[in-house]
Amino acid sequence: MKINNRQLFWMIMMMEIGINLLISMTATILYAKQDAWISYILAGFMGLIITYVAAKLSSRYPRQTLMEYSVTILGKWGGKLIVIPFILQWFWVISLILRDEFLFIRLSVLYKTPAWIVIGTMLGVVLYTVYHGGIEAIGRVSELWGPILMIILALTFALTANNLNWPMLLPVYADTGPGPIMNGALAPVSLLGESVLLMMLFPFVENAGKGTRKALLLGVAFSSVMLLFGVLWVLMTFGPAISGRLQFPFFEMVKLVYLMEFIQNMDIFVMAVWLVCIFVKLSIYMFITSYGLAQWTGKTGSWKKISLIVAAVSFILTMLVITLNPPAGLLLKGVWIRYVLPVNMIGIPLFLWLVSAVKETSHTDNRR
């Protein structure tokens, strides 16, 4: 199974843009109000730093995944223990993405469709792709649909430009300050930081090296620019007060497209492409969870069989989350931003990178 740098770039783009446009915007606007666009700029820079650290770490072990080089760096028990938070995160993320997909589809089109049908259908398609095509199939889908996503977003921005009201962005900074702007940046950076999953994908890239790091950083940079345009358009369309009360403000903005009496209902195109983004993201997570769990248990050759278990557990967890219906803010702020961002996206990659660098330096000194 191999992918190239171009496919990796589109995978990162689709993974970062899809869910970020859906769930991070409201939380950011509630904190930073009309300065939410500044929060997105900060989030973009922080996302690039997180991606750079993870890419540099993986570059040291280009033929190993996180599961393998954590053992190389820390030894058998230390290496296996330190990756447990990642395994738990991957299961958790799959369930939350499926929950958000179900909520969005129910609110938009399938009002009375049972949850298990919506969840089971998407999970079935994802499982089929991962089981039969692996990471190669995901790379090809991303390469095909990534440019279409860009065209749809560009059309959306162009066709809603006549609704923009620049004074909605004023005053700049005076009503918020550094605290709210930083708090507003946490939601988008915690999603942009998901690029750390590249630590599982690096060995599958053909001729992984500087070109791979460049593709990853460009993927995060372009995603950040698209998200910045998205929040600017939302703010200039609805203003911070209304945007902060909308569950999915970007898609509410798309519904306003109306031009020359025949260009309208653009939201159906955006929804279709967004579902492809969710499919790509779920497929990546399903693959790395299955492959990572197989490596962690020492049964790498059985990763396809393990994907069946991952799908079943994800379905049960998703139905549980839907039934319990915890507040989205609690999941995003109470768990994702408080624990996953500092531990899995910053702490563990940085720690492994430092230990690896120290061991390499000591090894070099000993040889002298």
Q: Copy the structure tokens of residue 315.
A: 């379905």
pLDDT of residue 27: 85
Cα separation, 49 vs 213, whole angstroms: 12
Q: Estimate the crossing angle of helix 5-32 against helix 84-108, to 10 degrees.
A: 70
CATH at residue 135? 1.10.4160.10
Q: What is the pLDDT of residue 368?
A: 65
The shares of helix, strand and coil residues in the chain, as percent rounded to the nearest 5, are 85, 0, 15
* Domain enclosing residue 91, as ranges: 5-323
Question: What residues contact 166, with CB distance under 8 A and at least 6 apart?
Answer: 236
Q: Quick count: other Cβ atoms within 10 Å of Cβ 270?
A: 21
CA dist 262 → 137, 155, 265 (Å): 37, 15, 9
Element (H, E) at 226: helix 210-243
The beta strand positions in 146-230, using DSSP E, are none
Q: How confident is the prediction along the chain (368 residues), in pLDDT tens digits per residue? A: 789 999 999 999 988 887 787 777 888 898 999 999 999 999 999 999 999 999 999 999 989 999 999 999 999 999 999 999 999 999 988 998 888 888 888 877 777 888 899 899 999 999 999 999 999 999 999 999 999 888 888 888 888 888 889 888 988 888 888 999 999 999 889 889 999 999 999 899 988 888 888 999 999 999 999 999 999 999 999 998 998 888 788 888 887 776 666 666 667 777 777 888 889 999 999 999 999 999 999 988 899 999 999 999 999 999 998 888 777 666 777 788 888 999 999 999 999 999 999 988 877 766 66
What is the Cα–Cα distance from 65 to 69, expressed in whole angstroms?
6
Alpha-carbon distance of 158 to 314, in angstroms, equals 38
Q: Containing H/E element for 345? A: none
Q: Which amino acid is at 180?
A: P
The phi, psi pair for 281, rounded to 5°, reads -65, -45
In DSSP notation, 106-168 reads HHHT-SS--HHHHHHHHHHHHHHHHHHHHHHHHHHHHHHHHHHHHHHHHHHHHHTGGG--GGG
Note whether residue 223 is domain-resident. yes
Phi/psi at 232 (nearest 5 deg)? Answer: -65, -45
**Rounded distance between C-alpha atoms, residue 190 and residue 212, angstroms:** 22
Q: What is the pLDDT of residues 346-363, one digit of tens each?
A: 999 999 999 999 988 877
Please check whether residue 366 lies inside any domain of the structure: no
**Per-residue pLDDT, 259:** 62
Amino acid 102 reads: F
Residues for the chain: how many in total? 368
Q: Kindly state whether residue 364 falls inside one of the protein's structural domains.
A: no
Question: Residue 174 in 3-state DSSP?
Answer: coil
Q: How many domains does the chain have?
A: 1
Q: Does residue 338 lie in a domain region?
A: no
- Is residue 328 included in any domain, yes or no? no
| Residue 67 belongs to a domain | yes
pLDDT given for residue 162 in this prediction: 84
For the chain, the straight-line distance linking the first and the last C-alpha, in angstroms and rounded, comes to 40
Within a domain: 269: yes
Whether residue 343 is contained in a domain is answered as: no
CA distance linking residue 183 with residue 303, whole number of Å: 39
